[in-house]
Structure 1
Amino acid sequence: MDQDLDKFDRAILRVLETQGRISATELARRIGLSKSPTQARMKRLEEAGVITGYGARLDPIRMGQAHVAFVEVKLSDTREAALQAFNRAVQTIPEVEQCHMIASRFDYLLKVRTSDIQDYRRVLGEKLSALPHVASTSTHVAMESVKETPS
């Protein structure tokens, strides 16, 4: 659908990305369309799966989740069944904020958010290391977040 997005669709997405609770009237005013066509475009973008949902952005520090670690995961088996087993299992760990399959010397890169280093150590030992086919992990602790954007 990317090639079907015109300047109004892209404008809608830019605004909603940072202000998901904006009224349709205000959104329409900002992008230069009337309310009805703006709402129709939003519905089309939702039905096409371009807009996958709406939600609040929470401050992880105020939520008690200030510790961020990036974890390289190397698997002992990278056949499709092993990858699928890992993929399913990692989705059940709430501390894993992001999981990416990587083309590198390791197989996955995880972003893990916990309250502190002791909590991270528990998650690593009890959850991450117990994931299917994990051969090894390597942790990189973030000292400061310089830029985080919703998309």
Structure 2
Amino acid sequence: MSALDETDRALLRALSRDARQTAGALGRKLGLSQPATWRRIKRLEEAGILKGRRLRLDPQALGFGVTVFLGVKLAAKGRVSVEDFERAVTAIPEVQVVQHVLGAYDYRLRVVARDISDFERVLRRRIMTLPGAGEVEANVLLSEERRPGPLG
């Protein structure tokens, strides 16, 4: 794909604010026809720049009042495969995000729970029993602001 032009960038900014907009509505905002807007969206999808449109749920509205970021260090890298750990951790419904990272920990997890007691249950019964789980560090989310991305 050739470089993004200013219209592509404006289209991506508009979609990042509200991905539910129709091609017609987007086109009117950008001074394009509906078919021209749709072609640009398809081109951005085919190039791998636009990777779908996701629904964002509000965990608190669904009864999950606590979000915790966990740093997990594998206990014995030689004895347990990374694939076994990843397979097991992704099966835990409270774990929303699993990131394999470099640094002090091997993995970073985003975990939601109803409250601190529920998080303790998830930690003790599910996360600490994972194959290879070793040292764990927890950081409780106090607040979160959504920041505009690089196209801002």
The 5 Å alignment of 1:35-114 reads 35-78=34-77, 82-114=81-113
- Normalization by structure 1: what TM-score? 0.84
> 2:145, 2:75 → 1: CA distance?
33
**Structure 1 residues 101-132: Cα deviation after superposition (integer angstroms, max 9, x where no partner):** 22212111111111101111111112211222
Determine the structure 1 residue equivalent to 2:143. 145
Residue type of the partner of 1:137? V
**Structure 1 residues 52-89: Cα deviation after superposition (integer angstroms, max 9, x where no partner):** 2223322211111110111110002446x722222232
Determine the structure 2 residue equivalent to 1:121. 120
> 1:115, 1:149 → 2: CA distance?
25
Inter-CA distance 53–94: structure 2 relative to 1 (3 Å threshold): farther
- Aligned residue for 1:4, secondary structure, equals coil
Give the length in aligned residue pairs. Answer: 148
Structure 1 unmatched runs, 5+: none
**Structure 1 residues 12-36: Cα deviation after superposition (integer angstroms, max 9, x where no partner):** 2211122111121110122232221
- Normalization by structure 2: what TM-score? 0.83
Structure 1 runs (4+) deviating above 6 angstroms are none
Computed over aligned residues only, the root mean square deviation of the Cα atoms, in angstroms, reads 2.2
